Chains A and B, each alone.
Chain A
Amino acid sequence: MTYRSQGARQLLLNAFKNPKSLQQLELHEWELLIRCTRSSKLVAALGKKIEFNCPEVVLPEKVMAHFQGAQQLVEYRKQLLIWELNRLNKALAALDVDIVVLKGGAYILLDLPLSVGRLLADIDILVDKKEIERVEKHLLAQGWQSAKLDEYDQHYYRTWMHEIPPLRHQYRFIEVDIHHTILPLTSRLHPDPERLLNDAISLDKMACKVLSPCDMVLHSSVHLFYDAELKADDFRDLVDLHELLSFFCQQSADFWTKLEARSEELSFQRPLYYTLYFSWQLLGTPVPNELLIRCKGRPLYLPRKLMEYLIPLALLPEHPDYPEKKVAFARWLLYIRSHYLRMPLHLLLPHLFKKARKRLEPVVT
């Protein structure tokens, strides 16, 4: 049996939803599964999922080799992040400022199940806007350096984005992004960062804090459905959300109610709805059904149906041998959507134009 894109998507989803079923896979299906998982940078995560959830599944030797290779890289990145967090903690301990570690860094600090096998990128921290300059200066004085950017990018970062240009320690590889809010200033949503900071949780023996479970989910939701371009390597963000939701709802019985209430406080109902819906629909997250129906962020019928069509198409990797036009189109539509949500139109068009021109420059000159 040969697979085209629909089959490839099903194979991938099934592997994450029901890893036990992998026992029945034939070698050529494994091969396709690994290719699709690789497009989403999830090879190591799948390997770990199988190892933890169903160790009885016998993996073909070569499949194991792919998992090992990917896991080695993931563990290396994780170790780099732990080391960077350790150094940041040391550097910032003397500074009396609340530092909240976001995303991957927070998953590591909390030792969440999803920090195993996930390919982590850089470190993002959130600080009060009034303190950002102090934090930046403090790190610059201790060996971190500002990324070299041209004037337009500097201006773009500082004026329109929610961060200052990334810092990197002169002897290390991990970038540290300091944010003072979790969405660009130009974005259509304006969450009050103070509320996130107030609810942040202190950690044992650490100068840094992390977001509360609800805010962690909401931040990741907003990032995926309001900020990301929604292409194949964003699928792992949905897998993250699925893992976060599944973990937190087991930790506390009233998690769903709290999450819903918090989304209303922060006006994050829409991204939360998409998260709950697609995580449930694609990955089988145990989201209570009545929550999906009564959720205030549920869009009207037509836009809802459109997103229900576009999101799986764009987010899930295609069969690498059979790229589809409709997938490219769905991704293009969602790319425009993400920029539209990020910037008002009078800023968006010049920005896209400048980006396009910069991309052409080396060819022109």
Chain B
Amino acid sequence: MERVWSIPENANIVIENWGENAIIYSSLSGETHLLNELAYEVLMLFQAGSETFTTLIDKLYTIFEVEDKADLELQIQKLMTDFENLGLIESTECEN
């Protein structure tokens, strides 16, 4: 079993992207956030569909062409905790 992460059904996220920084509004929390490039890409992937940690890392690895995969994993782990606390994503347990 692996956790599957996705944007909550009742969260409407509006995004305005200005190059290296994006500003987003989440209707669920009513909060506005500033995202850097990495956070923005992660959010865009979730907008496209749900992800497990593994599938997410694989995609980001391709997008950013990073050398240090361990460092990326660490960053994403932290980012996902933040996203979850902000109500931008939620997880469900799923058998696959």
Q: Please report A residues at the B interface, Cβ cutoff 8 Å.
A: 76, 79-80, 82-83, 86-87, 90
- Other A-B pairs, 9, CB within 8 Å; known A80-B30, A86-B28: A79-B27, A83-B28, A83-B29, A83-B30, A83-B87, A86-B8, A86-B87, A87-B87, A90-B90
Closest to A78 in B: B30
Provide the bound-state CA to CA distance between A82 and B8, in Å.
13
Provide the bound-state CA to CA distance between A80 and B31, in Å.
10
Query: How far does the Cβ of A111 sit from chain B's closest Cβ, in whole Å?
Result: 11
Chain B 26-39, CB-CB to A under 8 Å as 1, else 0, gives: 01111000000000
Chain A binding site: helix, strand, loop or mixed by DSSP?
helix
Chain B binding site: helix, strand, loop or mixed by DSSP?
loop
Contact status B87-A79, CB under 8 Å: no
For chain B, the count of residues having a C-beta within 8 Å of the partner chain is: 8
Query: How far does the Cβ of A1 sit from chain B's closest Cβ, in whole Å?
Result: 44
Query: How far does the Cβ of A71 sit from chain B's closest Cβ, in whole Å?
Result: 15
Provide the bound-state CA to CA distance between A83 and B90, in Å.
13
Chain B residues whose C-beta falls within 8 Å of the C-beta of A83 in the assembled complex: 28-30, 87
Q: Please report B residues at the A interface, Cβ cutoff 8 Å.
A: 8, 10, 27-30, 87, 90
Chain A residues whose C-beta falls within 8 Å of the C-beta of B8 in the assembled complex: 86
Chain B residues whose C-beta falls within 8 Å of the C-beta of A86 in the assembled complex: 8, 28, 87
Chain A residues whose C-beta falls within 8 Å of the C-beta of B28 in the assembled complex: 82-83, 86
Chain A residues whose C-beta falls within 8 Å of the C-beta of B30 in the assembled complex: 76, 79-80, 83
Closest to A84 in B: B29
Question: In this complex, which of A76, A79, A80, A83 has the most chain B Cβ atoms within 10 angstroms of its Cβ?
Answer: A83
Chain A residues whose C-beta falls within 8 Å of the C-beta of B90 in the assembled complex: 90
Chain B residues whose C-beta falls within 8 Å of the C-beta of A76 in the assembled complex: 30
Query: How far does the Cβ of B9 sit from chain A's closest Cβ, in whole Å?
Result: 9
Query: How far does the Cβ of A9 sit from chain B's closest Cβ, in whole Å?
Result: 36
Provide the bound-state CA to CA distance between A79 and B28, in Å.
7
Chain A residues whose C-beta falls within 8 Å of the C-beta of B87 in the assembled complex: 83, 86-87
Chain B residues whose C-beta falls within 8 Å of the C-beta of A80 in the assembled complex: 30
Q: Which 8 A-B pairs have the closest CB atoms?
A: A79-B30, A83-B29, A83-B28, A83-B30, A86-B87, A86-B28, A80-B30, A83-B87
Question: In this complex, which of B28, B29, B87 has the most chain A Cβ atoms within 10 angstroms of its Cβ?
Answer: B29
Provide the bound-state CA to CA distance between A90 and B30, in Å.
17
Provide the bound-state CA to CA distance between A90 and B10, in Å.
15
Query: How far does the Cβ of A104 sit from chain B's closest Cβ, in whole Å?
Result: 17
Query: How far does the Cβ of A94 sit from chain B's closest Cβ, in whole Å?
Result: 13
Query: How far does the Cβ of A91 sit from chain B's closest Cβ, in whole Å?
Result: 11
Provide the bound-state CA to CA distance between A346 and B30, in Å.
47
Provide the bound-state CA to CA distance between A79 and B8, in Å.
15
Closest to B27 in A: A79
